Structures are given as C-alpha cells and as structure tokens.
Structure 1
Amino acid sequence: MRALRAEDPETLGGHRLLARLGAGGMGVVYLARTESGALLALKVIRAEYAADPAFRARFRREARLATGLTGRWVVPVTAADPEAREPWLATAFVPGPSLAEAVDGHGPLSGHGVAVLGARLARALAEVHAAGLVHRDVKPGNILLALDGPRLIDFGIAQGTHSTALTAPDAVVGTPGFLSPEQARADADEVGPPGDVFSLGCVLAYAATGTRPFGTGGPAAVLYRTVHEEPDLAGLDRLPPPMRTAVRECLAKEPGRRPTAAALRQVLEAVAAGPGHGASGDGDWLPPAVLRVVAERSARALDPPPRSAPSAAPEFSGGDDSAAARPSRRRVFALAGSTAAVLAASGAGAAVLLARRNAAAGGSEGGAPPTRTIGFQADLTGPGKASGRAQERGARLAVAALNSRADARFRLVLKVEDDGGRAAGARESARRLTADRTVVAVVGPTATAAARAAAPVYEKASLALLLVSVDADTAWPSNKPRVVCPTTLLGRERQLPVLDYLTRVSRTRRTAVVEDRAAGDTAWDLARDLRATPPNWDIGGTVTVHPAAVDGNGPRGAADAALAARAQAVVYAGTSPDRAAACARALTAAGFDGPRLGFEPAMRPAFLTAAGEAAEGWLFEAPYTEPEAARTGAAEAFTAVHRARYGADPGRWAAEAYDAVGLVARTLDALGAGSGIERGQVSERVFRVVHDGVAKTLRFRSERTLESENAGFLYQVAGGSFRFLGRHDQVRAEDG
C-alpha cells in the first residue's frame, strides 16, 4: 500500500480514495471507502487502453458478469462505470495476499490448507458454471487469501459457454502454466467448464508443492509442455490419497475425463472436514506467516498513509529500484584493467557472485582458502579433438577467472583427462577421476560413446557429470543417470527455436515439413512435434508433413509436395547435409524464397558445398553460441580474454564449457567454504542453482534437465558461410 500522489483524484464514483494498492502500465488499483464506511478495491484503466473498442467491451463484460455473481468465494463487482473516459470498477476489499504472493514468499500450504483452498474454489467455480459462465483465467494471481477462505477475482476474460469471444479467432486466452490443453491449442469449441477444472488442478498442485506443474519459462515452451507432456507432480505424496487422485484427474488431457467442479468440491470438502480439522476455515488453513500478512494489511487499511506532496523526481514503474544504482555489465567490463579483471568482474563467471558473498562473509575462516578440484574429461587427441581442445580452453579460462580473485572463498584446480573419444578410454579416465577424492564434479566427456561408458562410473561415485556438447537424449533415450547434468538444449526440444522464429519473426501461417525418412526416428519426432504445435497456431497456423523417401530423389519430391501445399515456410527435418542441400536446390529451382530452416546436424560445410547458391538465406538452429559474434558484454569480454591468452577466437563449445565450470563454482559457493563438502551434495545441489553464463542462463527443471526456453541459437547462411544471428528469442526480422 502506497500513499496517494498529488495527481490522484480525491473521490471517484462517490468513493473516497485512501491509498494506492498497486499500479502498472494499464492502470491503478486504489483502496477506497464508500459513504457507509465499507472498504473497496477500485480499479481504474488508463484512457489509452480504454480507447480500444475491444478492450472496453471486455471491461464492460467483466463488470456485468461479476456483478451478477453472489457466491461467498467470489469477489463481486459492487459498482462500475465502463463508459467513463478512464473506466473503473470497484470490488469488496480483501486484505489478504494473492495465492502467488503467499506460496512464492512463504512456501506451500499444508495439506489441510490445500483441501480448504480447493473445496472453496471448486464451490465458486460450480456456481460460476451453473450461471452459464466459464472463468478461463483461474491462476494463483487471481485468488486472494482471507481468514475464512479464498476469493476468486478477475472475470475479465470470462464468457458464456456458448458466447463469442472478444479476441481474434483461434486466439489463446488465459495464463500459460495454468490453462488447459484445449485453451493452449486454441480449440475454442472445446473450452468450457472442464478448462476451469484443469486450471484449478494446476493451482492446487502449485499450492501443495510450490512449483508449477508444467514448469516455467516463455509462453511457447510452457504451452508446449501443457499440450504434450505430463505434469510434474513431485511433492503431492504428502497429500491424502483422495486429494492426490482428485488433482491428477483434474489434469487429464481430455476434458471429458476431468471431474466437474461440483464433484471435486464434494471430494475436497470431505478431506477438509476430516479428523482433526473443522470445515469453517477461520484462519486455521493458512500458515502463520500468511496470517501475519493478512493482519498487517488489515491494520494498514485502517490507517492509510497521507497523500504525497508533488515531486519533480521521476518515478520508475516496476522493476528493481536498486538496478539504477548498479553499474551495467558493459560498464563493469569498461572499468576492468586487465585480462583477469575483465573475467573476474563479468557476471558471466562465478567470480562476481563469490565476491559479493565474500564481502559479506569476510572471506574464508583464517589461512589460505580451501582448494576444490574439478575434473575435465574430453577427447583431446582423437577424432573430436578440435571440440575437446576448445572446451578445455573455456574451462581453463573459467578457473583462471575465479582464482584471480584475492578474496575468493576457495581456489579451483582443473584436472584434465584425455579419453580419446573412445568408450574404453572414457571408462579409464572416469576411474582415475573418481579415485581422486578431491574431485567434486566433472565437466565432459565430449563424445556420446564416451559419455555412455563413463556415466556408470560417475553414478556409482555420486559425482556430478556436466555434459557440454553431448546430447543427453541421444546418449540416454531413457533412464538418464541422476548425476548427469545436461547444460545444453536436449534433442527432443530442438524444434523450439524453429517454432519461435516462425511464430514470432516470420509470422508464418502455413508451414511445410520435409520429413527425411533417411534420418529415422529423429525426423519423425521433429515432424510430429511441429505438426502437433504449429507455428502461430493461436491465429490459425497449420503444418503439413511431406515424407522424403530414402532414395536419392526423396528430398526433391518432398520439396515439390511442400510447394504444392502452398507453404509459406519449409522446414527440413533431417540430419544429412547432402539431402538438406537437395531440398534447398529444389526449392530454389521452383522460385521459393520464403523462410527455409533446418537443424544443426545438417549445418555442415558439406551443405554449403552441395547446395551452392541455393544455401543462401537458410536458417539453422544450434545448441551453441558464437561468442565473438554475440552482442552481449559477457560474450565480448570472454572473446577478448580468449584472444589474449590463446591468440584466436573461441572454438565451438568453448563458451558453454566456461559456463559449466562457472555453474560448478556457483554450486560450491552455495554449499559454503568449509572442508566437509561431499560429492553427493554437489550432484544434488547443482540442479537447484541458477547461473547467468556467457552463452545463456543455466536453470534446471525438477526432472534434472535444462530449462529449454531461450537455450537455443540461430545461424543463417550468408555469403557462403554460417553467420551467427543470436539466441533465438532475441533474433528480429532485420537480423536476417
């Protein structure tokens, strides 16, 4: 709650304004009081948004629908003026936090709390559905917590079960992570009460575990997981069996398999009223910390702050106020006076984190800081030695960056093993590294066969194995060892950069996929995933798949079929540079100049040679960056240091290896500087830290895989070579 500003009105619609409850780009929410003394939350929309007829219609509908709802667990609209220059509506004031605030700030609710929450929200939805409405945006931010139970708010996108939406045809409405698969697919005819039940299931899983059942990240990735993957329900075991079953049934992919809100209410009310619990709530369902928040907000509402005096100082909307006082990453680099200082100051390495924590902790406890050894296993003399050497250089630079800090809490040592890229050599290298009890984690191996052979040795020793250039999906199609930590995009998620480009940059509605049968399951999986979630599916995007037979004319025939389907973009789903080139030549011969995309295995010099001029303009996704071409301060600093030390630009995967060592250092720092760190602690903790690296941010899901959103990159053929465009989510049309 903040004081009113000088420019805020004193009254609105006969309500006296007392304070600001929140503000954003769309408007302001005030605490207000009626003439009778009742407190209200009064939402005012800025005039520029209200000028949009569709937006005003939606606002008008929200006021009308919510005014007619009278259920106890729904916050109704008590007054509104949708026709005002700045339209507003008022609802009863609920002093409690949202469910999102409570869980994110104070942790999951108890089992009883989840039962009360679910029973009362199910009752609210049953009443909404009985009125012929569907809420369509049930999420933690739209649920307020009061002493006696939750309150469901915001009917801005609610609609009748047979009414016409105010959005574009096939548009997705709702909040990714809490909407149903039918909403994610924009199947408007299927969106009904079962969609709200699915959303409630997501809310209950979140309230019980503190995590979102379909993960985090950008909307495209979350929606993809909602449609195609099973929810992450780890942590529900602490709930009574009837509740676990109910939540799982709510999250059924098919709407017809979900319970009704009324049936769900009966199950959850029985649990909430079980032995040792009353059915009334009265605060016993909320954690003490949340009860304190409710009490504090209730007290502050009775004593709002005085109105602020006019001020000439600008006010920043949103964000971290401390950001203005922090130097930018680029300025940190500009201030660095040496090679070591540049890397040590870079937010891309672990050193900056260590320096901040050391300043608070006062460094190590007497004497020299302890030494931690990181193993590095790679092919340094075999067929993959170029990649192995590049990764070794990146790893050594990361170690040097940390050790350049005089106040570091520990020193790093890199112990290098050359496995020659062979399985037998990999097992021997793994045995030597595990035998050294000072080794706390290993980066590598750099070849798939070597990773498969070494992993069981590291698994037995509980030694974290951070893969840089090996695709964990290829190495272990199932049953990936628990100690394996993939730091790059998994093979099954390689279509995400392509999907993002076609959706966000080219806005393609008709996409054709050339499924190269010569690539087997890899091509089939890519084609299936793109067809299941077409680019721009929210505005009617479609995908057609055209198989390319294994014979030599297969790619050309499939390309011709794609053009016959009036494709606006063509994706080659395969692994052969030569067959991708055949597809490119066929498209060019037919005069096709729309977006043409492929995947990294085909991004080889052989493609450029075989395709010739037809290669120009092709885009390829890749799981690695090119730091010398990336437009970030961290990448520029890394490149400068690499050139200074090795006299050359970083090789492929060097930046990713640098980040992998930085992730280990960050994990060690999180575990403390003491001497008692165990290997098992590192292999568990590494998945729970977040590291802002040179190439990308390393953040992991609960299933121990890298968060895939924004983890891929795009390259484009220009002038007969592959030109790095950048991280896929940062590429714009003008970049190509």
Structure 2
Amino acid sequence: MESLRGADPAAIGGYRLLRRLGAGGMGVVYLGRSAGGALAAVKVIRAAHAGDPGFRARFRREVTAAGRVVSPWVVPLLDADPDARSPWLATAFVPGPALSEAVEECGPLPYASVRLLGARLAEALAAVHAAGLVHRDVKPGNVLLAVDGPRVIDFGIARAPEDTALTASGAVVGSPGFLAPEQALGRGREIGPAADVFALGCLLAYAVTGERPFGAGATPGVLMRTVHDDPDLDGVPAPLLPLLRSCLSKEPGGRPAMAEVRTALDRQGDGGAGRLPESVTRLIARRAAAVLALPAVEATEVPGTPSADTVPGGDEPSGGGTRRRLLVLGSVAGVLGAGGTAAWWTARGPGRTSASGGGARLPRLGLAVHADLSGAGRAVGQAQEHGVRLAVERFNSRTGRAFDLALHVHDDAGDPARARRVARRLIGDEQVRAVIGPTTDACAEAVLSLYGKARLPMVSVSVGLVGVSPVADRSYAALRPDDMTLAAPIAAHLVRSVPAGRAVLVDDAAVGDAGWQTLGLVDDAVRSARRTTVRRTLAAGDDSDAAFRALAASVTADRADAVVFSGGYARTARLARALAAAGFSGTRLATQRALDPRFLTAAGAAAEGWVFAAAFLDPVRVPAARAFVTAHRKRFGTAPGWYAAEAYDAALFVARAMTALGAPRAERAAVTGRLRETDHRGVTKRLRYDAAAYRYTDAMYLFRAAGGGFRWLGEYRDVTG
C-alpha cells in the first residue's frame, strides 16, 4: 500500500480513501472505508480512458460479470457506478498477498497446499462458468491468499463465451505464460471455459515449482512456446502430473471440465485441513497487521471533502440522474460464513509492519536463488536456499530499512541447459538485482556469460571455477576459494600434521583440468629433500574393479605413507575400499568433491580416517554462527547443511551493498560495482574485494571421516600448526 497522492480524491462513491493499492494503464485501485467502517478495494477508471467506448464497455462488462458470480472463493462486488464520468467499482478487500508475491518471497508451496489451493480455485472458476462466463485471465497475480483460503479477483476481461465483439479482431487478451494456445493465437471465438482450465494448470505448476511451465521473458517467445512446445513440468510432484498434463493439452477438447479438476484434486487428499508454510502465513499476517494499523473512519474525515461522486483527475461530479448503483446482496455474508466453516489453512505467528509505519509499503528489490534443488546437488542447493531465505527474513525484520528484499527461487536441477533457461528468466525479471548461485561448477560455467552480458551480479557460494577473470567477468563475485586454492590445506596437512615422507598424488581424469592442476600445486608445495612424491592418473572411463585394485597395489608397491586423490565421492569410495583391501593404513586425503554423505555409505568402514579439504565450515562448531544455527533449527527443524551459512552471509553481503546505494540507485550494474566496495563481516568469514579479487584466506577448512560421519577439524592454518 502507498500513501495517497496530491491529485487523489479524499472520497468516492461513499468510500473514504485511505491508501493506494495499485495503478495500471486502465485505472487506479484504492483502499477505501465505508461509512460503516468496512474496507473495500475501489477501482477507478482513469479520466483519460473513460471517454473511450471500448474501455467503458470493458469496464461495464467487468461490473456485470462480477455481479453474476457467487462463490466464497471469488471476491464479491459491493458497489459500482459504471456510468460516472470516471467509472468505479468497489469489491471486498482481502488483506492478503497475491499468489505471485507469496511464491516470489517465500518460494514454491508444498504439494498439500497446492492441491487444496487448486481445489478451491477450481470451485471458484466452476462458479464463473456456471454464470455463463469465462474469466480469461487466471494468473497468480489475480489470486489473493487470505486467512481462510484463496480469492479470485479481476474480471476485467471476463466475458460470455458467445460475446466476440471485443476479441474477434485477433488481439491476444490475457497474460502471457498463463493463457491457453487459442488465446495466444488470438482466436476469440474459440475461447471458452477450457481456456481457464489451461490457465489453472499453468498457475498450479507455478505454485508448486516456482517456475512458469512455458518460461518467462519476451512475450512473443512465451506465446510461441505456449502454442508449440510441451510444458516444462520438472519438479511437479508425481500425483499432480497426470492432471496438469491433461489441463495443459493444446486442444481445448482434450482438457477436463473444471468440475473434474476439482474432483481429481479432492480425491488426492485425505480430507484434512491444509497448512501453508510458516513464511506465507507470516506474510499474510503482515498484511493483516498493516490493515489493523489503518486509521478509523472518523480519523479520515477531511474538511471540505469533495462530494461522493468526485473522481480523480479533476472531473466534476457526475449527474445524479445517470448514476446506477449495483449491489450484490448476500455475497459478503457468504464470504464471512465461509471463513468459519470452510477454512483450509491457518495463519500463525505475529505479523510485521514496515519500518516506515502505518502499513506503508516499502520498495521491493529482488534477490534470486539460482540453485540445484532437485538434482544430484540438491542437498547443497537446498542448504543455500535455506541460508538465503533466513537472511532475507532477517533483513526484512530490521527497523529503519529503506526497502524490502523479495526472494525469487529457481531450480536448475544441476542441468546446464536448464540453468541457461533459468538465467534468461531472471535476466528478464526487472525486479531481480542480484543472483546467489548457481550450485555447481557446470551450471555456473553455462550461465556466466549470460549474467555478465546482462550486468546482473552473479554471487557464487559453492562454485570453484578456475581461471575466471575479475576484469573480464566483472559481474561475477566468487565468495569462496577456487578449486586449485584448496591445494593449500592439503599440502599443510601433509607437511605439518602427519609424518608423510612419500606421497602418491592420484589425478582422477574424470574431473578435468582442475584435478591435475590442484595436485600440481600440492606437488610443488610438498616435494623437498625430506619428502618425495609420485604422480599417478586414473583414466576417466576406467571404472573396473581391476583398475582400482591395480592403483591400490601401486601405492603399496611405492611404499607410500600418504595418498591424495582428486576424484568425486563415488570413485574416491572405490579407491578407499581398494586401499583397505590392500592393507594400506597411511594418510588419505581428498578434496570437497568427495566430501559427500554418499561417500560414507559407499566406502563403508574404509571411509574412516579420510581427510578432506573444503571451502565451507560447520556452523554448529563456530561460536559466531550460534544465532544463525538457532534460527535455522527453529525455521527448518534441522541443523544447517553445508554452504547454508555461507549463503546466509552472501545474501546479507548483497543487501549491505544495496543499502549503501539506496533503493532508487540499486540497479544491477551499480550493485556489481558496490559489491567491490563493500566490507561485510559475516558469521563464516569476512567478505571484501581487495585489489583484483575477493579475499578469503581464512575460508579453507579440513574435515575428517570418523564414526560414520564427517567431523569438522577447523580452519586449516589453525589445525595444522
């Protein structure tokens, strides 16, 4: 909500205006209060458009459509005057966020919530169709989340299926990404209830994954994919897939009726009440708290208030003889009654008002998480998302802040091609000012140039790309050491912590150049008059047991007392078993590529004693991170995963840079530059740019496999003497 502006009226149609809720090309929506104290959303057509017969006809149709639909899940019409010089209508006010806002800020909704959301929306849209109408603009922005369930709003383009007067010209009417192929092609005469079914399928896919099934970006591309491409339903829970696929059939005749959609969703449930994520209920509570802070109607009385028919833009009052008021009796009572008997989620927790007080809405700057949330690296990706989410919530709870952070979460499933699609979506979203991620090196390499060309800061937490230039790739902020730098803790352990006189350094060719480059640095640091090294290579495609037995035999034949391996967890586990079978009991070292719970499972007893160099710490063991760990346990019910604390620091690092700029100046390129001037002491390390790179000499650690788990030893310089 925003404060009223100087040209805004104090009242209209008997409603005292309190705040601006939004504005668009068609008009302005205000928050109003009736003489009896009831809140309403009052939509007023702009004076410049009111004389256009097309606009006026569309508005009159919206009034008529809204008055014909009766459902507890549709926002009811309270009052209207479509014949005023600047026409207006008033609907019940729902003090909750739009579904789009909830997903952007809190992430995708869980399956159980989405199933019940879909059932309620299907019931609402079935009522629309029963009234002889097609909504034609079912999208997340037109679904509000209230304490007792969702509400469908905005009948601005709803019409009867046979009413083709305003769409027969081939114009595309609706919101790209949430419209049916027949709408995308502008085939007005073919648009019927099945178009709303298609849109609902898109909406539910978005709600449960956070992604639009036909992508984002430029409108022509979205429309083309809607007409010709299969929807991207990666991440949709299996129980929902058959229904969504049928809803998203290209042909209207292949889609189920809305009543069938509702029945299918109801059958998937157990009859119990749904529950929204706590973050969403807090968002709803904040909206409700802002409403409670509004003044009473008596306090809004303004001396010399214009008449009730006065409208924005300096218009004179409309003639009393032409005014037509439309009332929908019983709708409000129906909604209030539904709240007590059909509630399907429960708001919990206190709400927060913005720092500016009075419920005034702060500017929102987007911070995105681009991560692997469902692929092989999902444990790390999900940990990073949790860390960023806690940071955003902490930032948004601060008093005196100049803006709110809006969280955008996108899953690339560890697939470089999908990572590029995610990057293009984020680049096309103007609200996003910086990106935390991706999770993996492969996905980071795939999108580095895309983010760079768009001048969108890409802040990496878990990526260890080697050879990236801070000059050529100015938008890339690497907040961890690259993979080659991890040679330092390995060499320090060999030189200072163990009596290693002869070390075998095994390059796993499957990991590429980074492996042999890292071992080359270890070789240079370790080899001396007192220590010798032997280099070995394990071929990339050789996964035979014989190859690992031969490698282990060569280690014992070399009479080595230490082995360093550069491979991932699976091949490291096979080498561990082969070494144990060969009777080798010396020092065994690897990089964080093998620091994975799956290594412990695959290696079994042979995992015991392996030491790993890593670029992340265990926040549970760090006093400075105690408050973060406590918040994480409270929020997610578990201890933080690897890179969660580092992601938390990265998000607050970006927020500090944005704060220094101020919301009006926090454009993408400006944020990139400011990051290089920002010094942030986080719970894991100090983040700052020095001369030609980000510095993190205090951010390399050692872990040891012990007792069926990984034990953090500490920062490598502290534990190697």
Q: TM-score when scaled to structure 1?
A: 0.45
Which protein is bigger by CA-based radius of gyration? 2
Q: TM-score when scaled to structure 2?
A: 0.46
